[in-house]
Structure 1
Amino acid sequence: MIKGVRRTGKTSLMKVVYNELKYPKMFIDGRITPPHQNEIFNILLQYAMAALTESFIDLKLRDMIKEISFGVGPTFSFSSWTKNFEKIDKILRKRKSKFIIFIDEAQRLKTGNISGIITYLFEHTRNTVVILAGSEVGILDSIIGMDAESDLYGRPKKMIELDRLKKEEAIEFLRYGFSQYQKEIGESDLEKVVENLDGIIGWLTLFGYYSRTSDLDRSLKKIKKEAGKITAKEIEHFLQFRKEAKRRYLKLLEALSTPLRWIEIKRFLEAQSGKKVNDRIVTKYLHELEKYGLITKNEEKRYVLADPMVKEGVLLLTSRK
């Protein structure tokens, strides 16, 4: 399991591992995969068959089709799917091989019973490995078994948590990148970049790309414009089912560009509304934002934006009014 806030290198790490492995494998992007159980079933089976016939030249597709059944709609049951994967597991066992399933942004498949599917694979197959990644940390935790309601609760798992780079690491990352292009950049400029982009490796990489043809200030301006569009879409996705509290959430995100304690946030919300705000409401808002990965707690246990560029997304959304 690989988790962390957005743009800290989770997908890149998965793709490096994916390309290095010689086992039969498949890669699912949860953002573009239909979040319905039966469709996930068929995607897994189709990819498994393709991967096995590609890896094992003597294994004929027609022979596998005789063994594996497909279906759509309510008639294609969970039990039908499990029997098929047990047959695939037997093929893997005979060939002393593994089938590796990579699922990126796995939290998007929660409504498709992804935790139930993974639980079955864990309990009934010995040669299938699932590697998950996701950025909506709270939702992902509910899938992988960090709370008692999850199907995967109590199951052993290996966790890799990617975080933003520390200031010194971010500066060294940029310095190394520029050395590859044989381009010099002053220490004060490196510090300015990190002050603006924090240690979010995705934005640092994009800065390096833009700065090949633009100066520092112009590159930062381009990133803020691009980041505004990207983070605005992420915020809109979060607000999609929270329309009644949209204005309050946007104000809260705007305020959290500066780290704040819980009591300071409560006072801010009360000042904005001109009336008392229930403690449970404050906690709920913060929990939802943290669960989605838009905010986090810093070392001083203050709430702050998980990505400084979220501020650009808020500015873009509020300017559309």
Structure 2
Amino acid sequence: MTLGRRALLASLAALPARADSPLRVLARQAAIHLTPPCEMYRRRHRDVVERGERLNRLVRQLSPEARLLSAWAWLDLSGEPLFLLLPRMEGRFYSAVLLDPFARAFEQVSNRTAGDAPPPCMIVGPTWKGDVPREVAPIQAPAPSMWLRLRIAVTDDDEDIDVARGLQARTLLETPDQRNERRILEMRELMRFRTIAPPEPVADWPEPRPAERFALFDEGVAMLAGYALPESDRQMVDTLASLRLRPGRRFDARAFDEADRATIVAGIADAESAIRDNGPRAPVNDPLHRAWTARTALSAPTDAEKP
């Protein structure tokens, strides 16, 4: 009796994938590297879509945690620049950090880098071209989607917390038009930007589907759309090209037969176990530790955000 093709594929898929299979090892590596952008994708969707936070608008937390008063914003830099204005901090620790799609601190403005009087900053996307006003410090982000996080140190004293809240309230994240309007009122100065505001950016990302077996791949590469990869990340992404993983595109599972898809799923499971069991003890810059941090403590302050 001849075994049919479907039955043969089913029997192959049912066989356990060898732990040293090159495809399984590659899938494990891909899952570890893509866990941070996947977690960033899910956090962005939760904040903006589920909680209704507006893109390019600061959300201020009025109650401190671990003696830090926090604010944050998801940035859409696919179009116009954004201006970040921090007040004088009078000796108080503060930190404004831009996290890239891998949840790494790409740029930091703090009392360590700018002293008590931080300059106004102009944050632009990776493809933006234009003139930068002389009085601002330019920051060219590597991706059109970035996470801005602001921390201001406080003591346990209620009066000190109120002072920090005032500093937080005076921290501004503005579009060119908002900055133009404010400066017209404050300084009677007209900037060289248009006076017709563009439409607000729209959160048009697909909903995360963590229950799907290749969701980690789909959401991880989706977060990398438009990312100007540094050389180290570019080498990693090139290595994963044989898995049909390309920034900004869905994982092409149809390019693999069912047996290979089962092997890839086994590799993803291997990565989950490694992140859970070995991530906490891995070196800080090891991909395993970064994946574990993104999975368990994405909102926790990085070293750049701690006094």
**TM-score above 0.5:** no
TM-score range, shorter chain: under 0.3
Higher strand share: 2
**TM-score, length basis structure 1:** 0.25
**TM-score, length basis structure 2:** 0.26
Q: Which has the higher contact order (CA 8 A, sep 6+)?
A: 2
